[in-house]
Structure 1
């Protein structure tokens, strides 16, 4: 009996760490229709309240080394101005687009930043499973009740990571905590060519009196053929992104960018979704400086629409072809091989 227990414990641990990081808490018991509806509406209100205009502070700190001889990086703090807009709300699905406004007064320009999609009780999520690959992972049916998934997308609307969790009120704070999720390296790490190549992370979103925070607990993992699960922890990192309500910047620049490019980006989102559904996920090569190998061009196309150098129909056609070609099985395999995977 002991050997049987050990076998299943080992198998479950390997599955949790390699295929789908560990689940978040246990099932939520059925609370009755009225209570479930009240929780659902409160959750929606909380997610929608993250839209707005903000002064943002990004605080990143490697802390505990898990590997002998590794020296944690110095703390890095940066910031900026960010507008968050609701671009889709179907009731059970809410899409928030982040837009960075940077530059000197009178010379500001907009950078399309990350996107977060929230879905109520989804059957599956598009999760990161290793370098250049995102796959559909089933959300266990017994854990769906009352939970929301959050899927985060990169600047070109390609996927980044996904997880699920429950919005809760505790100690007078409204918060959401994800399950353990795999994440690809952020640009700040990828450009340094570090020994680690992914994060095992828990993400938290919490409302504050002046806005909200996004708190990341990242274990940076290194490939290791001698390790039981093929990965070894290198160092712990804590990231705290603080969004404080603030509109004394050129908010109009963000809204003008989105007004000019929203239809284009809607088509781009739809193409990524179509590819993921048709191919059981997405495989695409990434570069340290830019993210996906087509990220730079997809962003440039949006700027060319704004400048009038490219019509919207032609822009959408080019973007669709870029996505289809770069995610084609042969193209993705060749790119991964060239990158050493």
Structure 2
């Protein structure tokens, strides 16, 4: 029996030694390796742009709180257009737009989430507590060759951010974030659950048909003044290339409103830079208390009932007056 155990242990040691280093740890990336991978990284990020049929699959799995009742899996989906709205080389910005076709065959556009990718960032804007996003330094030795992804809500206020590297393991290409905090998604926030935030790892992977977005969420709640895990959730969002819907409606919306949204993004950036981050009241349905008005003004611009200049003026006032200094 002892001989069997020794043989098994020796085999496991040999297996561990044969594994690539990246499978065991994520050390700093050498400058020459980073330079060699830069263009492939960019190509993988840019490849997320396109026209898609997307499915959203969410499933709570393991409960960490014995008194918690696990939710039934949730499935939804739709048609989504993703456009590159900025590319400076070291920064790529992707805007998502949902296209919904009504019973009258008319298309309605919902400005969806936005993702900003930045190469070798010094800091990222992270969710740190209720209603609060603060700047967090990326460890200096971990910047080389890595990209941050910052995800924004429908009104361009921040949602969550993380950093990581693109790598290939087992023949599969992927980017994986560090552990990050994020506020509740609308599907949870509207239910007023016992948890109030997620601790998550985020993964993006290109596929022959499009790309996939994995999320591993530990739903956390406060008990006796301490954050504790409540339940684990796994989210898989699958983007399949598809254009048999009114793609033009999304492009028309963006053509009419892109100047307005550029000014909104700039104002959020200004506030984050001058106030030490973003502090604004969250709202379950739309993300922030000003989100509804910011989105309505974009629709009014497209309908030509409000000028872009007037909308920008009101948006700046809303963002300034509803945020506080940290």
Q: Same fold (TM over 0.5)?
A: yes
Shift in Å at residue 38 of structure 1? Answer: 2.4
SS at match of 2:154: coil
Say yes or no: does 1:40 pair with 2:47. no
Bigger Rg, structure 1 or 2: 2
Say yes or no: does 1:257 pair with 2:253. yes
Determine the C-alpha separation between the residues in 1 that align with 2:324 and 2:306: 26
What's the counterpart of residue 89 of structure 2? 91
Determine the C-alpha separation between the residues in 2 that align with 1:79 and 1:156: 21
CA contact (8 A) 1:52 1:85 kept: yes
Shift in Å at residue 173 of structure 1? Answer: 1.0
What's the counterpart of residue 9 of structure 1? none
Determine the C-alpha separation between the residues in 2 that align with 1:261 and 1:211: 27
Shift in Å at residue 71 of structure 1? Answer: 1.1
What's the counterpart of residue 27 of structure 1? 27
Determine the C-alpha separation between the residues in 2 that align with 1:274 and 1:153: 15
What's the counterpart of residue 19 of structure 2? none
Determine the C-alpha separation between the residues in 1 that align with 2:27 and 2:170: 22
SS at match of 2:145: coil
CA contact (8 A) 1:129 1:135 kept: yes
Determine the C-alpha separation between the residues in 1 that align with 2:148 and 2:123: 9
What's the counterpart of residue 293 of structure 1? 289
Say yes or no: does 1:302 pair with 2:301. no
Determine the C-alpha separation between the residues in 2 that align with 1:180 and 1:89: 26
What's the counterpart of residue 162 of structure 1? 161
Alignment of 1:118-157 (within 5 A): 118-157=117-156
What's the counterpart of residue 234 of structure 1? 230
SS at match of 1:195: coil
* Aligned-residue RMSD, C-alpha: 1.3
Determine the C-alpha separation between the residues in 1 that align with 2:173 and 2:243: 24
What's the counterpart of residue 207 of structure 1? 206
What's the counterpart of residue 72 of structure 1? 70
What's the counterpart of residue 3 of structure 1? none
Shift in Å at residue 31 of structure 1? Answer: 4.6
TM-score normalised by the chain length of structure 2: 0.90
The Cα offsets for residues 260-281 of structure 1, whole Å up to 9 and x where unpaired, read as 0000000000000000000110
The Cα offsets for residues 271-324 of structure 1, whole Å up to 9 and x where unpaired, read as 000000001100000111221000000000000101111111011000000000
Aligned counterpart for 1:247 among listed residues 218, 243, 247 = 243
SS at match of 2:255: helix
Determine the C-alpha separation between the residues in 2 that align with 1:69 and 1:284: 32
Determine the C-alpha separation between the residues in 1 that align with 2:78 and 2:155: 20
**Paired residues, number:** 302
CA contact (8 A) 2:31 2:144 kept: no
CA contact (8 A) 1:27 1:145 kept: no
Aligned counterpart for 1:275 among listed residues 271, 274, 277 = 271
Shift in Å at residue 25 of structure 1? Answer: 4.8
Say yes or no: does 1:59 pair with 2:57. yes
Alignment of 1:4-15 (within 5 A): none
Shift in Å at residue 240 of structure 1? Answer: 0.3
SS at match of 2:71: coil
SS at match of 1:101: strand
Determine the C-alpha separation between the residues in 1 that align with 2:270 and 2:134: 14
What's the counterpart of residue 221 of structure 1? 220
Unaligned runs of at least 5 residues, structure 2: 1-23
CA contact (8 A) 1:54 1:247 kept: yes
